[in-house]
Amino acid sequence: MLKPPEHQVAGHRAQDGQLGPLVDGCGIFYKPLQGDGRGDAEVAFYTSFFSHPAVPPHILSFFPGFHGTLVLPASDASGPRPHLALDDLLAGLRSPSLIDLKIGGRTWPPDCPEDYFQKCIVKDRESTSVALGFRVSGVQIQDPAGADAFWRPSRAAVKRYMVEDVRRVLRQFVSANPPSPDQKPDCALASAVYGGPDGVLAQLMELKAWFEEQTLFHFYSASVLLVYEKDAAVAAAGQQPVKSSGVRVKLVDFAHVMEGQGVIDHNFLGGLCSLIKFMSDVLNDPEAGALESIKV
């Protein structure tokens, strides 16, 4: 039985008769192909990427598995439509905390049409993309109140995030206490989620090493998606040394991937390095953090 995913923080949503992705509950995520060429571009990327002999196996695992395309009834009741069949990155998780980070100070490729450039540059300058090299596209954090309770700032609020909001949400993301205007995020889960041999930082460093070398693809407007379950992280945080908390680090959204033509993706790499520095700061100084309230 296909239905809209329960936990979706960015992108179009399949609700209220809108076009959006569907999941089958058995591990597959169906993303409708957008008709303006973006859908075809994304199919072309997945096909090329997973068959490329120069992509090392440990890098493939950062990408959702690709299972071809499938014509399915669209979620907006507009009839049959081709969908990308991808791994459901949240499969098996009951209460995932997740954050979607769009990487790159620039979301437009070098040779894009003028109207696309104009649209992107405004968003890049109004968001933290230009200043930070990345921006938050969406976030949900399991609330201590219960497994089915989540803190989920509105999209409008996330759009208004400035540098300090991003800093704070990256701390809140690994905290056990709920977001509050009166309390600093406690960063109690920082070592369990960001740290450790399988944590977010270690995985991002692997990605970084690849981006320092690879000249195959340039990723514009793609995201790093970070996912973990608080229960597992709390259990891991109680252990010495910290065991794996089952954190998932994935790249998503490839409608604007270009050929690298022998040049590294300096735009994505720079943003990735900036994100890595933010997370290192949380790990190295979990006590820090401003007291200003977070936009909700």
Give contact residues for a copy of itself (rule: CB under 8 A). Answer: 105-106, 110, 121, 125, 130-133, 163, 167, 212-213, 215, 261-264, 266-267, 269-271, 273-274, 276-277, 281
> How many CA atoms lie within 13 Å of 233's alpha carbon, on the beta-carbon side?
29
CB of 183 to a copy of itself, least distance (A): 21
Q: What does the alpha-carbon distance between residue 156 and residue 95 come to, in Å, rounded to a whole number?
A: 23
CB of 266 to a copy of itself, least distance (A): 3
Nearer to a copy of itself, 149 or 205 (CB): 205
Q: Count of CB atoms within 10 A of residue 64's CB? A: 20
Q: What does the alpha-carbon distance between residue 258 and residue 264 come to, in Å, rounded to a whole number?
A: 11
Nearer to a copy of itself, 84 or 224 (CB): 224
The residue to which tokens 């104009």 are assigned: 118
Nearer to a copy of itself, 97 or 274 (CB): 274
CB of 38 to a copy of itself, least distance (A): 21
Nearer to a copy of itself, 8 or 221 (CB): 221
Nearer to a copy of itself, 65 or 260 (CB): 260
User: DSSP string covering 263-294, please?
Assistant: ---HHHHHHHHHHHHHHHHHHH-TT----SPP
CB of 215 to a copy of itself, least distance (A): 7
Task: Return contacts of 158-163, CB within 8 angstroms, 24+ apart.
Answer: 158/295, 159/126, 159/127, 160/295, 161/127, 161/128, 161/135, 161/136, 161/295, 162/128, 163/128, 163/131, 163/132
CB of 90 to a copy of itself, least distance (A): 29
Tokens in use for 183? 């309390």
Nearer to a copy of itself, 126 or 148 (CB): 126
Q: Count of CB atoms within 10 A of residue 274's CB? A: 18
CB of 197 to a copy of itself, least distance (A): 20
CB of 176 to a copy of itself, least distance (A): 25
Query: Cβ(269)–Cβ(225) under 8 Å?
Result: no
Nearer to a copy of itself, 208 or 243 (CB): 208
Query: Cβ(272)–Cβ(193) under 8 Å?
Result: no
Tokens in use for 148? 């089915």
Nearer to a copy of itself, 193 or 269 (CB): 269
For the beta sheet containing 150-151, the strands, ordered from the edge strand earlier in sequence to the opposite edge, are 150-151, 134-142, 96-103, 223-229, 248-252
CB of 131 to a copy of itself, least distance (A): 5
